[in-house]
Structure formats: structure tokens, C-alpha cells
Amino acid sequence: MSQHILDAAALNQDEALIPKSGWFEQSETLQKLRKNKKFPTIWCPGCGIGVVMGALIRAIDHLGLKNDDVALVAGIGCTARMPVYMDFNTLHTTHGRALAFATGLKIARPDMKVIAIMGDGDALAIGGNHFIHAARRNLGITALVVNNSIYGMTGGQYSPTTPLGKRATTAPYGNVEPPFPVCDLAIAAGATYVARSTVYHALELDKFLAEAIAKDGFSLVEAVSYCHTTYGRLNKLGTAADMMRALKDNSISRTAFDAMSPEQKADNTKIVRGKFVDIDRPQYTAIYANLITRVQGGEK
Amino acid sequence: MPNVVQQTQPAAPPPATAKKGPRGAVTIHATWCKGCRICVEFCPPKVLAMDESENYPHVAFPEKCTACHFCDTHCPDLAIVVRKLE
């Protein structure tokens, strides 16, 4: 065992917390982390969820929002551990119900920027119903769906976004179900901002997250990530670095996709990243506030 | 290996033959790093390399850093900070 691991294990609780000075002060991103939380994070070495966490912090920092004006709502899963490490208002809820709790929070506090952080299984299988109805109502919530194609925390069961034919612990001969196109689902349900990027394109993810949080309406950002410990191992996709390189090689921008001929578009197997929808529709809490004013004023 | 912070600054001013452009200083927080190799495999000017144990990265060539911020935006454990030098 290396000296490094022995040192980390020998640290007491105080030393494992964020250091008070020096290295930590150099980064604005790190200032937004929870000061009393023990690091490193629980995620596997190289997991892309940490990259998404960094992108989310940079996006909030870029918008200049105060920590108290942001509420992070999460369910259960690898991705849902994300708010635990960040110094904002956080709500850790039951599996798949992040958007349901976020709906209540947004209606009670319309001034707050509510961000629901969900994994693919959390958002689309267990919480699929909440997902489409939050988009239909056009509540001013930002839904961040981190898509790693599998249920990572519970041991690698196939999820609604596992690609056709890929292996999972509950699909040892290959998945026979076609996957959900997350962005198309949100567009069809009525979301006003829909964008997709990958963890390799982390700075693009920053930009999309900042636009989504600033948007007054239901906004979805799909962050395509990877799970190298279960999905990658079962499908022989290599290490975390290999899977991140695959995201670089197997994704194209929306501009390049739009320039393709219809035949090429039909054959395309690459991840298309970019902004798909950016429209304006009346937002739910504004309509609701108008209703209250109208009815209290005696109108029918 | 230092206990908490491994910090490497450019030891000397870059030689006159060095390429022009922005320079950076990389700091790796050793107790947060899990050794996933992403920074080492992707660093465009190959500033970072694995140490003798092959388990953790260290700053092998600090003078090569161009402050592109790839490693600190892609570190899954937020263990790297890149500071642009004047």
C-alpha cells in the first residue's frame, strides 16, 4: 500500500475537512463546498458526477447568486449525493421524488432558484411521472439529469437509459428494451429549455447550466456521464479515462448534426450535444400569483 | 509524499527558448485525490505524470503548464487547482 493511502487513513476528522488556508483559497469553485463535510467524496475514483458538481458550482458562481437563494433538491442514488457536498439550501428526499418536493418548494418560495439533481433512474423510472408533469406545468425548476446509463449505487441494474444490447447485472445477455431519449421526452412534455452535454465538455456544461438556471420556466440539462465500475466493467469499456475519451470521440455538436444529410442523420449513433429548445411560456408560479391576486380582489 | 497539500510552483523562470503564452501553476490536494488518472491521460502539454507507486499523480514538468484549466475542470474530486501566473 502506498504511503499516500496510509497518510489519508491516519488523518483525524479535523484534518480531513477543508483546509482553512492555502490551496483552498485559490479556487472560487472550492469556496462553495460545504465546510463541515468530510472529503473526498463517496464516488468511485474517476466518476463523472464530480465533474458535473464542479460545473454546477461554476454555473451558480457565474450567475452571481447568493448561497441562500439557491435550493438543491435530490432523491436517492449516486448523483443524489451531490448536494451533500455543496453549501446551498439542500433537500434530500425519497427515491424519484426530487421533482415532487421541488414543486412544493418552488410554489412556497417562488423567488428561490430550485435545482433538482437526479440520476437517470431517479428522474425517468421512479420519478418519470413527476418529470413529465413538472415539464407540462412549466414550473420554474432546473432539472439536472446526470445520465450514466445504469443504476450505479444499487449494483448495476439496467435503467431506462441503458442502450439497446448493452449488458447490466440484471441484463446479463444484453438489454432488450430501447432507451428513453431524455431530451426528446422533455421537449414533448413542454420544457422551455432543453440542452445536453457530456462530462468531457465540462465548460459547455457550465454554460448550459447557467442558462438553464437563469431561465424562468422548466429547464432540463442532460449531463451524459459514465459508470466505469459496473456499466464499463460489464461492457468491457475500460477505465474512467477510457470512458471519458469515448465521450469525446462519440459525441458531435448540434451544428455538425444539423449539417448532415437525412441518411447520415438516420445512421447517427453519436451523442448529439447542444441546446435543443429555448422558448418562452408562462411560468406556473407567475400564473398562480396572478390567480391569487385576481380572486382576492373579488373577481370571479 | 506530503500529508495534505502537494504544491509545485515553477522552480525557476522559464528559459528564453520556452514558448510564449500564459503559464500556470498546478496544485494537487493529495488527500482528496483518488488516483483515477484522468488528469494524467488528458493533460495537453503532459505536465502531470503518475508517481513511482503508479497510484497518484504528481506535477512532473511544472514549467510546461499553459493554464488551460483542463485538469481542474475535469478532476472528479475537485482536488486540482490551477492558478494562472502573471
Query: A26 vs B1: CB contact, 8 Å cut-off?
Result: no
> Left if phi > 0, otherwise alpha if psi is -120 to 50, otherwise beta: which for A36?
alpha
Q: What is the pLDDT of residue A227?
A: 93
Q: Is A201:B71 a contact under the CB 8 Å cutoff?
A: no
Tell me if A49 and B33 make a contact (CB, 8 A cut-off).
no
Does the pLDDT of residue A282 top 90, yes or no?
yes
Interface test with A, best of B9, B38, B40 (most A CBs within 10 A): B38
Q: Does A42 touch chain B (CB under 8 A)?
A: no
Q: Cβ contact (<8 Å) for A27 and B73?
A: no
B3 close to A (CB below 8 A): yes
Give me the residues of A, 5-24, that contact B with CB < 8 A: 5, 7-8, 11, 15-16, 19, 22-24
pLDDT digits (tens, 9 = 90+) for B7-57: 555 555 555 556 678 888 888 888 888 989 999 999 999 999 988 888 889
For the CA atoms of A275, A277, A281, A287, the dihedral, rounded to the nearest 10 degrees, stands at -60
A27 touches chain B (CB under 8 A): yes
Name the phi and psi angles at A83, rounded to 5. Answer: -60, -20
* Segment A113-125, tens digit of pLDDT: 999 999 999 999 9
- The nearest CA of chain B is from the CA of A200 a distance in Å of 7
Phi, psi of B5 (to 5 degrees): -120, 130
Which CATH number does the domain B24-85 belong to among 3.10.290.10, 3.30.70.20, 1.10.150.530, 3.40.50.2300?
3.30.70.20
A4 and chain B in contact, CB less than 8 A: yes
Query: In this predicted structure, what is the pLDDT of residue A48?
Result: 92
Q: What is the pTM of this model?
A: 0.89
ipTM of the complex: 0.84
CB atoms within 10 A of CB A278: 14
Select from A212, A216, A218 the least CA-distant residue to A275. A212
User: pLDDT tens digit string along B43-69?
Assistant: 999 999 988 888 889 888 888 888 888
The answer to whether B34 contacts A45, with C-beta atoms less than 8 Å apart, is: yes
Enumerate domains of chain A plus CATH numbers.
45-296 (3.40.50.970)
pLDDT digits (tens, 9 = 90+) for A185-207: 999 999 999 999 999 999 999 99
CA distance A262 to A258: 9
